[in-house]
Structure 1
Amino acid sequence: MANVMAWLADHPRVLPERIIRGAFLAAADIAWLLRVGSVVQLERNLRHVLEWSTAQAGGDDGAQPIDRRTLRRVSRNGMRSYFTYFSEALTVGARGKERLLARVRGTGGGLESLINLTSPGTGDRSAPIAMGHQGNWDYDGFWAQFAVAPVTTVAERLADKAMLDTFVSIRERLGMRILLTGTPHLTERLEEALEAPHVLVPLLADRDLSRHGEFVDAFGSTIRVARGPATLAYDTGLPLYVANTYRERLDGERSKRAGTPYGYVCEISGPLDIDAYRDLEREAAIHAISQAWVDVWARGIAAHPEDWHMLQPIFVEDLDLSRLKDVPPELAARLAGDGGVRR
C-alpha cells in the first residue's frame, strides 16, 4: 500500500482526482463496515468527545450515553474525512495555486491578531501554533504562506522511508520547511526559526506518548500531548495561537474554482498570553500553557468531531501505563483508583 501511495504522489496526473477520491472513499466505507481495528479505536475516541459535548450542553443533567447509531454515523464520516485527506495529499502535485487556495479559508477570533503580529513592516514577529490531526493540515500550511506567513513545521520520522519521503516531498512542494522528529536540537532549531520575522511554526501536538509528553485533561479524561507549543511560547515569549480545521461544503462558484464540492476552514483562536504564566516555575508554566491550549482546541474538536483523524489510542483508559515513561505519581495513583486503565 505504501508503494502505491508513493507512486500516486509521484504521478498525480495519471488519474483524475475524482477517481482517486472515489476509490479512497470506497476504501473508507469498507474499513468502516468491517470495523477494522482502527475504526474501533476511532469510535472509542469519538465516544469521549461526544459524551463530553453532551455534558457541556446538558448543564446539571450531565453527560448522556451516546447511542450506537450516532456513534457509527460520526465514525463513518470520520473515516471518510480521514481517507479524503490522503486522496488530496497524493494528488496535490496536480493542483495549481489558485485551485488550492480556493479549497481553504481562514476564520476565527485570533486570525486578525495573527496576521497583524506577523505582517512585514507592522508586526514583523513570528508565532507558534498548536493544532491537532484534524481536517487537512497540509492545505492549512499552503494557505498560511499567502494569507499569514511562511511555515516551518515538524513531520514525524516514519519507519517506512518511502512514506516519509513521500509526505515530506508533498509538504515541501506546498511551500513548507520541514524538520523531522529526532533531529538533534529540534526545539532550539524551531526557536531559531521563530527569532526571524514573519514565520509560523504550527505543530501537530494532540498526541505524544513519549517521556516528553505532557498529561492534560481533555474531554472528561486525560491525554498526553506534545510539549512543543507550550515550550516554544514560554521560551520565546511569543503568543501562542490554536488552530482547528474542518470541512465545509462549497458554494457553486467557489466549488468550481476549487474543483471539488468540499473545502476547509482553518479556524485560528487565541492568542494565549504567555506573560500570565511567568509567576510559575518553568515546568509548571509549560503544563499550564499546555492545558490552556488544549482547552481551546478541544472545543473546536467537539464542534467538528468527524474531522478529527485520531485512530490511535490517546485517552488514558486505552493506554498501558506500565509502558509509559515519567507518569506523574499522583496521576498514576488516581487512575489506579479508578480501575479503568489497562495494565
Structure 2
Amino acid sequence: MGERASTLAYSLGWALVRRFPERAGRWAFARIADRVWRGGGARRLEANLRRVIGPEAPQARLRALSRAGMRSYLRYWYEMFRLPAMGREQILGRVRSSGIEALEAHIAAGRGVVAALPHMGNWDHAGAWITLRGIPLTTVAERLRPEGLFQRFVAFRESLGMEVLPLTGGEAGVFAALARRLRAGGLVCLLADRDLTAGGVEVEFFGEAARMPAGPATLAMRTGAALMPVSLWFDGPHWGIRVHEEIAVPAEGDRAQRIRAMTQELARVFEGAIAEHPQDWHMLQRVFVSDLESRRVPAPGATVDGVPAVSAAPRPPHEPGPPRRR
C-alpha cells in the first residue's frame, strides 16, 4: 500500500469506525483478521508464538493460537480507531487492574516511573486509562512516512492526554527529555520487548537469545525512577492491566552489567505475562536473535556507546498483518 493510500486508509478508519455500531465493527475486524490469517499473514507471529508454547506443541495448537492472536491484533486496531469516541465511563469501567496503587504512590511522592510494556493488549487504551486517573504520561513514537500520517498518530495520542516525543527529528536529545520528565516525578511509558536499534541488550527470552532496548533500565538507573513492567491483555469485553513489582537497580556491577541485569529481569517478567496470555502478544516482527538479519542498521539518532536508544511506540503496519519483509 502506498503512502497516500496508507494515509487515506487510516484517516477513514478514525472517521468511519466510530460511526458504525460496535457489534458490527468488531465482527468486521474479526473477519479481516481471519482473512489475513488464512492468507499467510501470521507466519512471523507464529514463529514467535512457537517459542512461547514450545517446539513439542502440536501444529494445530499453534495455528489456533495464531488465529486468536491475529484476531486480538485486529481488535487492538479496531479499538484504537474507536477510542476517541469511547466515553470516560467505558474507558475506566471496563478495566480489571492490579498493582496500579504502587505506581500511583510513587508519582504522588514525586518519584518518576518508567512503565515498560510488551506489545500486548491495547497500549493506547492503557495510556488513556492512566491519564483519566489523573497521571499524564510521556511516550516516544517512531517517525512515520508520510509526515502527515505521523502527525495524525501524534495528534490522536495527544488527544488522549499523552505527551508524544518523536524518536527522531523532534526535541533534541529524546533520552535527555525523558530523563527530565522522570526527574520531575513524571510517568514515562515505553514499549520494551523489541529493539529498534543496534544498541540493544541481549537477553534470554523463552530459552533463546533476544534483543531488547536498554533505554528503560538506563533511564531508571540514571534518574532514580522506578522501573515497573506493565502487562496488558483482553478479558472478554474488558481490558486487563497489571503493574508488576519494581525492578530494582542491582547493588553490584558496573553500569553495563546493571543495565543488562535489569533488562534480563524485565524479559523474565514479560515471559510470564506473555505465557499467561499468548494470544494477546502482538509481536509480528523479528525479536529473537536467530531470526534477525545478520546486518542491522542503527535507527537514526541511536547510540551504542554512551546513551542507548529508547523504545518507541509502534508504527502502524501498511496493511493488517505483519510488515513486509526487509
Q: TM-score range by the shorter chain?
A: 0.7 to 0.9
Structure number, greater radius of gyration: 1
Instruction: Work out the CA distance in 2 between the residues paired with 1:84 and 1:232.
Output: 32
* Number of the residue aligned with 1:285: 258
- Work out the CA distance in 1 between the residues paired with 2:35 and 2:269: 34
- Structure 1 segments (4+ residues) deviating >4 Å: 324-327
Q: Output one character per residue of 1:35-94: Cα deviation in whole Å (capped at 9) or x when no partner.
A: 23xx0110000000111xxxxxxxxxxxx6110111011101100000011011111121
- The Cα RMSD (Å) is 1.9
Find 1:322's aligned residue among 295, 298, 301. Answer: 295
Structure 1: 5+ residue stretches without partners? 52-63, 250-261, 328-343
Q: Which of these residues, 138, 146, 167, is aligned with residue 152 of structure 1? A: 138
User: Could you say which structure has the greater relative contact order, defined with CA pairs below 8 angstroms and 6 or more residues apart?
Assistant: 2
Q: How does 1:160-199 map to 2 (within 5 A)?
A: 160-182=146-168, 183=170, 184-197=172-185, 199=186
Task: Find the aligned partners of 2:48 and 2:287 in 1 and give their Cα distance.
Answer: 7
Separation in structure 2 between the aligned mates of residue 48 and residue 157 of structure 1, nearest angstrom:
30
Aligned to 1:335: none
- Residue 73 of structure 2, aligned match among 63, 70, 82: 82
Match in the other structure for 1:267: 242
User: Given the superposition, is the C-alpha separation of residues 132 and 163 from structure 1 closer, same or farther in structure 2, using an over 3 Å criterion?
Assistant: farther
Q: SS in structure 2 opposite 1:224?
A: strand
Q: Are residues 156 and 86 of structure 1, via their aligned partners in 2, closer, same or farther at CA, if it must alter by over 3 Å? A: same
Give the 3 Å change call, closer, same or farther, for CA 290–91 of structure 1 in structure 2: same
The CA deviation string for residues 182-207 of structure 1, in whole angstroms up to 9 with x for no partner, is 2430110001011223x211100111
> For the residues of structure 2 that align with 1:200 and 1:30, how far apart are their CA atoms?
39
Q: 1:291, CA displacement in angstroms?
A: 0.8
Question: Which residues of 2 match residues 1-343 of structure 1 at below 5 A?
Answer: 2=6, 3-36=8-41, 39-51=42-54, 65-108=56-99, 111-119=100-108, 123-147=109-133, 149-182=135-168, 183=170, 184-197=172-185, 199-249=186-236, 262-274=237-249, 276-277=250-251, 279-323=252-296
Percent identity between the two aligned chains: 37
Q: 1:19 to 1:161 in 2, by over 3 A?
A: farther
TM-superposed CA distance for 1:156, in Å, is 1.6
Question: Unaligned 5+ residue runs, structure 2?
Answer: 305-326
> CA deviation digits over 1:84-123, x for unaligned, max 9?
1101111112111112212323214xx332121112xxx1
Q: Which residue of 1 aligns with 2:319?
A: none
**Structure 1 residue 263 displacement after superposition:** 1.8
